Amino acid sequence: MALLSLNYDVLSAIVEQTDPCSALKLSMVSRRAYELGITQALASVTLSRSQLQVSAFCQFMLADRSRLPYLRELTIETGAFGVARYIEFQRSADFSAAAELADLLERTHRLRCLSIACFEDLIASEPRIANAICALPDLVEIRLHNCGQLALGVLSRMRSSLRKLTFTVLFNKKFPAFFHRLQSQDRVETLDVVHLDLSDGSLPDGEVHEIPSMPSVRSLSLRGSTARMSLFVRAMPNLQRLRLSDVYTRAQSAPDSQKNACWTRLAYLKGSVPDLQQWTVTCTVRWLQLGLTAYHYDTALDIIRRTTPTILSLPVETKVAATFWTQFVDAASGVRYLELCLDEGKVQKLSWWLDHIPTLLRALSISSIFLCVRHTQRIGAEEDSKPVDVRSDRTCQTIRERVAAAIPALKYIAIAIATRGEDPFDEHQKAPVWWQVSRMSGLTMLNIVPPEKGATLREHLVNTNY
């Protein structure tokens, strides 16, 4: 049966499940396929090559105005402006298609998500782009990168009520009034800010002492930013998810009423140990995801004790002594789902870890565990070119068998292999391979979980009500 002979509504439902690239290929098959595929193909567009590509896309869209309502998400990356990575390190960028981009944005009234790099210099080159964005009626998410004062002015003038906002500040720019300029956006639920510096040289400790109330914010991400935690505790009382990376505060002292300021509870907290030394989170955290722990193991244990997580993601070197693991079992007594990234460096101690640590972990009441072995030192080029199949690899088999036998309450175990620089806990990483653990007549049996279930099992485990 020919695909295009199906009912139009059925075909539309099928095409809606495809990605834009596949839909674009489908639209090239025939006139009828074009009508089906072009709607999905234009729903989400990323421009990353050059201003010639930007110009060609704008001309294509404007040549037939019936195409304009299909565009719902538009991303323009640094490469589209001839910038390799950071515009701060490059004296000039190419904005030759800026006028055409302004023409397009003035007419894409159904756009819901917009992401633009090199934004400060772009709107300085063509101010109509800023005005067009401010006038968009249905925008719910905006991601603006390489921003300065002009970009900040756009946020305060926008017609749309944003739900998600990402704002990356140009290096060495201080924005003490950033949150005051956001007051008109009182429905933002997800806020991601990069390189924010709330310093004000006129103040004794260099930081602002108050930011406006933002009760709508449920998720906050701060990266490479300078700000104290107490500001956000007071301004964002309903926060549920917090991500920190390279945060710093210059304020070394605070009033007694602010020293222990923290939220009542967080559903999710992600940060390295140094980050959580700058921001001392003392409330209960359902899912604690730690980043850098090397050389900070005592502090990592203290963070686990004071946040009492139910779900814990922890990177740790295999060479760490057994005394750490003894203390860990005590600190993590409330953990029900455990994720461990075992880092193997020059001193390879995975065999030692398997001989001594799983028996210590049996004291925990964990029902599921995700184990990743991460090789932090490069190995031979021949080995690098051959990815490990964790289903048949002997070492991976030994890991899952030893751990499953040592922890009686275990129901599921996942195994993965990673290399230096990879974060196995990142949500965009490929799903690990899972096994279901069962026991009969004193024997421990491992049955591989089907791929379709394994692909979503981790998501299920982190959302389970333990």
DSSP 108-173: -TT--EEEESSHHHHHHH-HHHHHHHHH-SS--EEEEEEE-HHHHHHHHH-SS--SEEEEEEPTT-
Residue carrying structure tokens 């089906």: 36
> Which pLDDT does position 81 carry in this prediction?
94
Residue 263 within any structural domain of the chain: no
For the chain, how many structural domains are there in total? 1
Residue 5 within any structural domain of the chain: no
Higher pLDDT, 31 or 297: 297
The one-letter amino acid at 199: S
> Which pLDDT does position 16 carry in this prediction?
62
> Which pLDDT does position 431 carry in this prediction?
83
What would the pLDDT profile of 157-166 be if each residue is shown by its tens digit?
A: 999 999 999 9
**Residue 31 contacts by C-beta under 8 Å, 6 or more apart in sequence?**
none
> Which pLDDT does position 322 carry in this prediction?
93
> Which pLDDT does position 414 carry in this prediction?
96
> Which pLDDT does position 3 carry in this prediction?
54
**Residue 456 phi/psi, 5° resolution?**
-120, 5
pLDDT category at 442 given cuts 50, 70, 90 is confident
**Residue 334 structure tokens:** 């409330």
**CA dist 409 → 125, 335, 413, 445, 448 (Å):** 62, 12, 11, 13, 18
Distance in angstroms (rounded) separating the CA atoms of residues 336 and 331? 13
Mean pLDDT of 128-153: 95
> Which pLDDT does position 457 carry in this prediction?
94
- Which residues, listed in sequence order, are joined to residue 416 by a DSSP beta bridge? 372
- Give the 3-state secondary structure of residue 381: helix
- Give the 3-state secondary structure of residue 370: strand
**Any idea which of 36-40, 91-95, 112-116, 452-456 has the lowest mean pLDDT?**
36-40
What would the pLDDT profile of 72-85 be if each residue is shown by its tens digit?
A: 999 999 999 998 76
Mean pLDDT of 239-261: 74
Mean pLDDT of 219-223: 97
Instruction: Say yes or no to pLDDT of 384 above 60.
Output: no
**Residue 72 structure tokens:** 């719902």
> Which pLDDT does position 252 carry in this prediction?
55
Residue 97 within any structural domain of the chain: no
Mean pLDDT of 395-404: 93
Mean pLDDT of 121-145: 96
- 206-235: b (≥16 Cβ within 10 Å) or e: bbbbebeebebbebbbbbbbbbbbbbbbeb
pTM recorded for the entire structure: 0.88
pLDDT category at 382 given cuts 50, 70, 90 is very low
What would the pLDDT profile of 321-358 be if each residue is shown by its tens digit?
A: 999 999 999 999 999 999 999 998 887 899 999 999 99
64: which DSSP letter?
S
Strand-strand pairing, 412-419 and 368-375: parallel
**Any idea which of 5-9, 59-63, 299-303, 440-444 has the lowest mean pLDDT?**
5-9
Distance in angstroms (rounded) separating the CA atoms of residues 325 and 316? 10
> Which pLDDT does position 7 carry in this prediction?
54
**Residue 343 phi/psi, 5° resolution?**
-85, 120
**Any idea which of 247-251, 348-352, 360-364, 417-421 has the lowest mean pLDDT?**
247-251
Residue 83 within any structural domain of the chain: no
Higher pLDDT, 408 or 113: 113
The domain of 340 spans 310-466
- Give the 3-state secondary structure of residue 290: strand
CB 61 within 8 A of CB 71: yes
**Any idea which of 35-44, 228-237, 322-331 has the lowest mean pLDDT?**
35-44
Instruction: Say yes or no to pLDDT of 51 above 60.
Output: yes
Mean pLDDT of 42-64: 94
Mean pLDDT of 31-37: 60
**Any idea which of 6-20, 241-255, 264-278 has the lowest mean pLDDT?**
6-20
For the chain, give the mean pLDDT.
Answer: 87
**Any idea which of 247-256, 310-319, 359-368, 391-400 has the lowest mean pLDDT?**
247-256
Instruction: Say yes or no to pLDDT of 4 above 90.
Output: no
**Residue 127 structure tokens:** 């101010």
**Residue 267 contacts by C-beta under 8 Å, 6 or more apart in sequence?**
240, 241, 285, 286, 287
> Which pLDDT does position 1 carry in this prediction?
45
Residue 155 within any structural domain of the chain: no
- What's the first-to-final CA gap in the chain, in angstroms? 48
Residue 453 within any structural domain of the chain: yes
Instruction: Say yes or no to pLDDT of 254 above 60.
Output: no
Higher pLDDT, 300 or 228: 300
CB 203 within 8 A of CB 209: yes
Q: List strand residue ranges (DSSP E) for 53-136, in order.
A: 73-76, 113-116
> Which pLDDT does position 350 carry in this prediction?
93
**Residue 166 structure tokens:** 């990402």
What would the pLDDT profile of 98-107 be if each residue is shown by its tens digit?
A: 999 999 999 9
Give CA 172 to chain center in angstroms.
Answer: 24
Instruction: Say yes or no to pLDDT of 206 above 60.
Output: yes
Distance in angstroms (rounded) separating the CA atoms of residues 379 and 362? 33
Instruction: Say yes or no to pLDDT of 19 above 80.
Output: no
**Residue 232 phi/psi, 5° resolution?**
-80, -30
Residue 304 within any structural domain of the chain: no
- Which residues, listed in sequence order, are joined to residue 207 by a DSSP beta bridge? 199
**Any idea which of 19-28, 67-76, 125-134, 310-319 has the lowest mean pLDDT?**
19-28
Residue 410 within any structural domain of the chain: yes
Instruction: Say yes or no to pLDDT of 381 above 50.
Output: no
Residue carrying structure tokens 């005051």: 180
> Which pLDDT does position 448 carry in this prediction?
95
